[in-house]
Amino acid sequence: MKNLKERYEKLYKIKSLMRFKTIISTLEGIIFGTSEITAGAPHFVDNMDIKRYMSIAIIALIPSAAAAVYFFRLHAVELIIVSYISGGIAEVLFALIRKRDIEEGFLVTGLIFPLILPPSTPLWVASAGIIFGVIFGKELFGGTGRNIFNPALVGRLFVTISFPQIMTSSWQLPFVDTVTAATPLGLFKTAHVLTPYIKLLLGTSAGSMGETFRIGVIIGGLFLMFTRVSNWRIPFSYIGAVLLLSWLGNFFLPEKIAPPLFQLLSGGLLFGAMFMATDPVTSPYTLTGKLIFGFFAGIVTVLIRAFSGYSEGVMFSIVMMNGFTPLIDSFVISLKYRPLRNER
């Protein structure tokens, strides 16, 4: 291993490769681990790093991704590959310009994005979406850690608005190539039909690729919370708010607002609450802020589902609350830290 590393380090001496130094050093970090040591106290640090953090998020997405591949076969695989390649190119280009290591966060974005697309999305649309998401959702703000909006959702929003025909009307059912159907939420909106819960749980209803197999989404989300990669507060308050408001709403306006359990198990609510609202960068970091964030996202979701032209509101609600994140944080912090008496 040591030998290999020495050989690898010779790459740094090749002048023509210096333009791609960031790629070389990123790969070195992945393959050989770091040779950095702690500078002082604490003399030893936690073994967790961002690579593992993101790997855990990817592992949590595996049930959803596997279900997508199982339901939609080759096209799902193609979408995932296209998303990784085209988004990856955008990411690497920015890393080269910035002369910094490639950030691992993209690996999660690149997998989440295809999972929230309708199964029949053409590859070129997916490619355009992820590139837009990476550039306008993340890199223009300064890269991972500085972005305001969830990059995968920015990409999804872009394709939804740019290609409405493709994105909202053609929902393909699992295992069959040609038949298209409305999503359960669409069915409720137009025909007031409630899809059976078992169908919703197992994923045999129409919907985005990764969101329909809800048992897998729940397992993955719980795994994330259990490993402390995501915080339970946001899914808890998000789903709680949806259940509460739809229970109240269904009581008064049963025509417009679907019953709580149906709201919970349809559309992208579980997927969004477990994997996208919990994105640490774009959600509040204060603990109370997380509860506020989830609560309002839940309310917005129910309102959009009931009263807007779209049948699904998870994406809009999370992006909207992403925008409110800095405000929520500074509000909570100003309450938490009262000024000291001698402060000038």
Partner 1 sequence: MIIKKRKFTGGYTFKNFKGVPSDKFINLNIPEKVIIPLKQGFGNEVNATVKKGDSVTAGQIIGINDESISSPVHSTVNGTVEDIKKIEYSGKLINIVVIKSDGTPDFKPGGAETSGWKDLPEEKLEEVLYMAGVTSLGKSGIPTRYKSSAILPDEVEHIIIDGVQSDIYNLSLSLLFAGEGLNQFMEGIDVLKSIMPRASVHIAVNKYQKEIIKKIDESADNREINIYPLDPKYPQSYDEIIIPTILKREFPFGFKALNMGVIVLDIQAVLHVYEAAVLKKPLIERIIALTGPGFTENIHIKARIGTQLDYLIKNRVRPDTPLRYILNSPLWGDTVSDLSLPVDRTISCISSLIEDREGEAFSFARPGISKDSYSKTFVANYFPFKKTIDTNTHGEERACIFCNYCQDVCPSGLIPHLLYHYIERDIIDDILLRYRIFNCIDCNLCSYVCPSKINPAMYIKQGREKLIGMGIDQKESVLKRFKLKGVDENVKTGIKSK
Q: Which of 269, 281, 300, 328 binds partner 1 (CB under 8 A)?
A: 281
Residue 16 or 47: the one with the smaller Cβ distance to partner 1 is: 47
34 binds partner 1 (CB under 8 A): yes
Burial 163-183 (b: 16+ CB within 10 A, else e): beebbbeebbbbeeeeeeebb
CA gyration radius, the chain: 22
The nearest distance, CB 342 to partner 1, in angstroms, is 4
Two tokens, residue 190: 């137009």
- Residues 6+ away with beta carbon under 8 Å from 103: 50, 91, 95, 143, 144
Q: How far is the CB of 23 from partner 1 (least distance, A)?
A: 14
Q: How far is the CB of 62 from partner 1 (least distance, A)?
A: 14
Residues 116-145: x/- map of binding to partner 1 (CB under 8 A)? Answer: ---------------------------xxx
Q: Which amino acid is at 129?
A: G
The pair of three-digit structure tokens given for residue 300, joined into one six-digit string? 């917005």
Residue of 35, 74, 165, 178 that binds partner 1 (CB under 8 A): 35
Task: Find the shortest distance in angstroms from Cβ 167 to partner 1.
Answer: 29
Q: Which of 60/68 has CB closer to partner 1?
A: 60
Q: For the packed helices 287-307 and 314-336, what is the interaxial angle rounded to 10 degrees? A: 150
Nearest Cα neighbor of 87 from 73, 70, 106 is 106
SS3 label, residue 180: strand
Using CB under 8 A as the binding criterion, the count of chain residues that bind partner 1 stands at 56
Distances (CA, A) of 296 to 240, 278, 319: 11, 14, 12
- Establish if 40 lies at the interface with partner 1 (CB under 8 A): yes
Q: Residue 143 — φ and ψ, nearest 5°?
A: 95, -175
- Backbone phi and psi for residue 278, each to the nearest 5 degrees, phi listed first: -85, 0
**One of 74, 161, 198, 340 touching partner 1 (CB under 8 A):** 340
Interacting span for partner 1 (CB under 8 A) from 51-59, 68-76, 122-130, 176-184: 51-59
Nearer to partner 1, 7 or 344 (CB): 344
Site string for partner 1, 74-113 (x = CB under 8 A): ---------------------------x-xxx--------
The tokens for 227 are 């490993």
**Residues in contact with partner 1, shown as a per-residue x/- string from 234 to 273 under the rule CB under 8 A:** ----------------------------------------
Question: At what angle are helices 123-137 and 50-98 packed, to 10 degrees?
Answer: 80
**Where along the sequence are the contacts to partner 1 (CB under 8 A)?**
1-2, 29-53, 55-56, 101, 103-105, 143-146, 226-229, 231, 280-281, 283, 285-287, 333, 337, 339-344
